[in-house]
C-alpha cells in the first residue's frame, strides 16, 4: 500500500496547512547568530511547498530547502522567494546534497524526519524497516547528518507530534481506523527517543515545547474547527493519516460521523479534543543546540 501522495496533494497543501512555531524558529536563529538573524543560513529538510521559507525569508540571509517530491518543490519554487534555494533530493542523502557546516539552523517540520525511511524504501509501507520502534535508525541517521552540516554553534529544530498528542488532541488521528492509528503512530519516534538520539550525537536539548496556542494547529483553523470536516475530502487530505485507510474504512467512519453529528456526539467529541489540544498541544517543537 502506498502512503501519502504528495504529488496529488501539493496543489492544495498551503490551503489546508500552516507553519507552526515560526516564532520559536526565529528565536533560535537570533540566539545562534548573536542577534544578527539577517546573517543566518537556514536549512529546511523536507521543505514541502516552502511554507516555512515564506515566513522566515524576510528575517534571514538565505534559506535552503531539500525536498524529495518534485510537485511539492514546484510549489515551493513558484512562490518566487528570492533568498530561497531548493534541491530535489532525499534527506537520507543529506551529506551528499549539502557540504559540512554549511548552515546555522536546520529545521525539520512535520513529519519529514519521521518518514524519511519511507521514501528511502520506495513509498511502500511494508518495506519500512528503518523507521520503526525501537531503533528508528532512519531518523537517527538523519540526526547524525544534521549534526555535521550545522555550523559549530548551530541549532536543530524539530516539529513533531508526541504519541500522547496524537491519542488525545488530534481529531484527525483519533477518528482514523485503529489499524491505521497503529501504523501511523509507530512511525513517529517518541519525543524522548528523539531527545536521546540528539544528545547521543552531541546536541544539547534546550527545550521541548508543546504548542498549546489556540491557533497553533496542524490544519488551517477554518478546516480544523469545521464539524463537517471528516465528511469532506479537503479535511481528509489535510494530513497523512487517512491516506493509509481504505475507501471502505473511510466511508464507514464518515457514516458513523454523520450519525454522531445528528445526535450531538460529534460536537461533544470535538470540544473534548479541543480542550485537550489547548492543554497539551497538537505538536511539539524540540530545540537542540550544537555548541551551547
Ligand X SMILES: C[S@@+](CC[C@H](N)C(=O)[O-])C[C@H]1O[C@@H](n2cnc3c(N)ncnc32)[C@H](O)[C@@H]1O
Positions that interact with ligand X (CB under 6 A): 6, 17, 46-48, 51, 66-69, 72, 90-92, 109-112, 115-116, 119
What sign does the dihedral 212-216-218-221 (CA atoms) show? positive
E-strand spans in 46-110?
A: 62-67, 84-88, 103-109
Find the shortest distance in angstroms from Cβ 273 to ligand X.
20
Cβ-proximal residue to ligand X, closest one:
48
For the chain, helix, strand, coil in percent to 5 are 50, 15, 35
- Minimum CB separation of residue 161 from ligand X in Å reads 11
DSSP secondary-structure letter at 93?
G
Rg (Cα) of the chain, in Å, rounded? 19
How buried is residue 251: exposed, middle or buried, by Cβ count under 10 Å (0-12/13-18/19+)? exposed
Nearer of residues 57 and 92 to ligand X, judged by Cβ: 92
To the nearest whole angstrom, how small is the minimum distance from the Cβ of residue 225 to ligand X?
19
Cell for 61? 540571509
CA distance 140 to 38: 30
**Closer of 17 and 290 to ligand X (Cβ):** 17
Q: Among residues 37 and 92, whose Cβ is nearest to ligand X?
A: 92
Q: CB of residue 175 vs ligand X: minimum separation in angstroms?
A: 19
Least distance to ligand X, CB of residue 71, Å: 9
Instruction: Name which of 72 and 287 has its Cβ closer to ligand X.
Output: 72
User: Which CB sits closer to ligand X, 187 or 277?
Assistant: 187
Amino acid at each position: 500500500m502506498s502512503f501519502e501522495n504528495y504529488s496529488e496533494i501539493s496543489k492544495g497543501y498551503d490551503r489546508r496547512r500552516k507553519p507552526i512555531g515560526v516564532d520559536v524558529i526565529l528565536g533560535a536563529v537570533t540566539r545562534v547568530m548573536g542577534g544578527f538573524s539577517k546573517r543566518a543560513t537556514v536549512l529546511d529538510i523536507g521543505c514541502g511547498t516552502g511554507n516555512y521559507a515564506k515566513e522566515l525569508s524576510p528575517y534571514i540571509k538565505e534559506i535552503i530547502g531539500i525536498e524529495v517530491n518534485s510537485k511539492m518543490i514546484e510549489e515551493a519554487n513558484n512562490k518566487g522567494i528570492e533568498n530561497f534555494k531548493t534541491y530535489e533530493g532525499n534527506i537520507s542523502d543529506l551529506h551528499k546534497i549539502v557540504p559540512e557546516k554549511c548552515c546555522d539552523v536546520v529545521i525539520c517540520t512535520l513529519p519529514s524526519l519521521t518518514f524519511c525511511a519511507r521514501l528511502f524504501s520506495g513509498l511502500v509501507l511494508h518495506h519500512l524497516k528503518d523507521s520503526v520502534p525501537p531503533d528508528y535508525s532512519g531518523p537517527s541517521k538523519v540526526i547524525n547528518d544534521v549534526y555535521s552540516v550545522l555550523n559549530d554553534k548551530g541549532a536543530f529544530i524539530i516539529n513533531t507530534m508526541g504519541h500522547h498528542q496524537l491519542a488525545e488532541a488530534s481529531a484527525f488521528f483519533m477518528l482514523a481506523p485503529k489499524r491505521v492509528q497503529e501504523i501511523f503512530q509507530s512511525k513517529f519516534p517518541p519525543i524522548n527517543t528523539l531527545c536521546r538520539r540528539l544528545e547521543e550525537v552531541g546536541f544539547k536539548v534546550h527545550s521541548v515545547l508543546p504548542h498549546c496556542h489556540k491557533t497553533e494547529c496542524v490544519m488551517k483553523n477554518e478546516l480544523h474547527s469545521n464539524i463537517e470536516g471528516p465528511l469532506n475530502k479537503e479535511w481528509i487530505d489535510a494530513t497523512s493519516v487517512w491516506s493509509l485507510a481504505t475507501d471502505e474504512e473511510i466511508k464507514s467512519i464518515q457514516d458513523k460521523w454523520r450519525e454522531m453529528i445528528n445526535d450531538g456526539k460529534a460536537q461533544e467529541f470535538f470540544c473534548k479534543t479541543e480542550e485537550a489540544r489547548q492543554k497539551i498541544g497538537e505538536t511539539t517543537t524540540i530545540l537542540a543546540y550544537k555548541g551551547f
